[in-house]
Each structure stands twice: as C-alpha cells, then as structure tokens.
Amino acid sequence: MRNSQLFWGGILLLVGGFMLANEFGIRLPNGMSLMELLWPLGLILAGLWVLFGVFLRRSGKVDVENASIDLQGATSASLKISHGAGELDIHSGANPSELVHGSFAGGLDHKASRNGDRLEVRMRPAKDMMDFPFFGPRTQLDWDVALNSQVPTALTLNVGANKSMLDLRDLNLTDLKVETGASETKVTLPARGRYRADFDLGAASLEVTIPDGLSARIRASVGMAGVSVDETRFPRNGSYYQSPDFDSAANSVDMTIDAGAASIKVR
C-alpha cells in the first residue's frame, strides 16, 4: 500500500504543478503549455507503474491453503479458473471423489453448484483485488492444481500476468478455452477424445504440445505474432494446418488461436 500511496501522491503533485504553471502562463520554448504534456506524460507514468507491478513481487511469507472440491456425485463438470500474478500448474491427480485438489498460495475463493448431473465450479485467488497491478509490486500467488482425470470436464482458464504449466495429457476434457494477458503458457493437450481448444492471447508466449496419436486442425488468426507449426505432422492446407486423418480419427482436437503480439509454437 505504501508504494501505491507514493505513486498516486506523485501523480497528484504532477497534475497540480502543471495546472499551477498553466495559470501563471508558463510555456515551453516551442510555445506549448505544460498542460498539453499532461495526458501523454501521465499515460507513460501509468504504463511504467503497471510494468512495475507485473515484474516485481512483494517479499515476505504468503499463506498457502490446501483445499479440495468434492465431486458431489456429478458425472460431468465445468470448471473456470481465474488466476493472475504467479505460477499456475495444472495436471491430473485428484481423487475419484474430487473434481479438484491442490495448494493455493494466497488462498482460494471458489463456488460449486450442481446443475443436474453436472458440477459447475469457479475458482479465483482470495487476494485477487490486492494484486491489481496499479497497486504496485504484487505477492506471487503460486497454485498447484490437480484435476480428476476421469470426469468429462469443460475447462476455462482466464489468466493475467503469470506463468502457466498445463499438463492436460491424462485429462478427459470436452472443451478447453484459454484467455491470457502478458503471460507465458506451456500446455500439453489431452491425448484422448474429440474436443475443441480455443486460445485467445494478448502479449503472450504460447507453446502447445500435441501428444502422439492425437490428430489436429489448427487455425490461427494473428496480429504481430510469430507462428511455428510442425508441418511434418500437421501439413498446411490453405489457411489452416491439419492432420491427414483428422476427419476420421478417434482422438482429435479442433484448435483455434487468436493472438496479438505473441510468440506461438505448436508441435
């Protein structure tokens, strides 16, 4: 909080000083008033503060909560995980009676409800608001999350400035959606089933591993992004890449990637 107070105190002094100079008629040598510089200078300072908040972490001990979410007898699930500063590791390993268990630095805020035979779960850090980047250096909230590998699950991940390691190879996913900000994401896709995987990236790095035996169709809509696809496995076919046996394969993923300034590798 001290860093936040210093930042916003400085901004107020800067604005007040520029307004006072404008009232006295003080101008730059080129004739511009100081007030004309206020907005661009303010945006630059705000951008620097956001970067300061992303790349620097608060020191000190962070409480770690060990938690699990009971399956409640459901036969399918939808799971949405929101995560920001820190590292997010997701893999299989939950007990048969659980949908999720894991360790959550900074605590876990979650909601779970049954909708027929489907369990609907939302998970987010308990300290999420404390880690908004305008409030300066953040506590690193590292999560290690194990999911049930047998229950058909629609998984949605909404991650900010973090590093994600997603080993989904053994999971039974019916749908995968990943939205990222300034992040580094490495994902190994599920090896079984026919499902969709959608990636919506900001200024990010994405590395996707497609297990042997999983066919794929890969469509990418990118801005300032570098895309590298293993064309020995997924030959290019016009605007997309596709396994020769995609239409008939028992196990396949239909993947779309929307990206801005990103680095993308699919292998």
Q: What is the pLDDT of residues 207-265, one digit of tens each?
A: 999 999 999 999 998 876 689 999 999 999 989 999 999 999 999 999 999 988 788 99
Mean of pLDDT values over 169-181: 96
- Which residues, listed in sequence order, are joined to residue 109 by a DSSP beta bridge? 124
List the domain boundaries for the chain. 2-55, 64-266
Which class for 211: exposed (0-12), middle (13-18), buried (19 or more C-beta within 10 A)?
middle
Give me the phi and psi of 80, to 5 degrees please.
Answer: -115, 125
Q: Read off the pLDDT of each residue in 93-103 and give the average, rounded to a whole number.
A: 97
How far apart CA 155 and CA 253 sit, in angstroms, is: 14
- How far apart CA 179 and CA 177 sit, in angstroms, is 7
The mean per-residue pLDDT over the stretch 143-171 comes to 96
Q: What is the pLDDT of residue 65?
A: 94
Can you give the pLDDT at residue 204? Answer: 84
pLDDT (average), residues 20-47: 68
pLDDT of residue 2: 47
Across the range 30-36, mean pLDDT stands at: 67
Q: Assess contact for 117 and 74: CB atoms under 8 A.
A: yes
Burial class (CB in 10 A: 0-12, 13-18, 19+), 6: exposed
Q: How many residues are recorded in the chain?
A: 267
Q: What is the pLDDT of residues 106-123, one digit of tens each?
A: 899 999 999 999 999 999
pLDDT digits (tens, 9 = 90+) for 120-155: 999 999 864 444 444 444 567 899 999 999 999 999
Kindly report the pTM of this predicted structure. Answer: 0.76
Residue 261: its pLDDT value, please?
A: 76
pLDDT of residue 137: 46
| pLDDT digit string, tens, across residues 2-28 | 455 555 666 667 667 767 766 777 777
Point out the least confidently predicted range of 68-72, 158-162, 222-226, 259-263: 222-226
Which helix (H) or strand (E) segment holds residue 50: the answer is: helix 38-55
pLDDT: is 141 or 36 the higher one? Answer: 141
In the predicted structure, residue 102 carries a pLDDT above the cut 70: yes
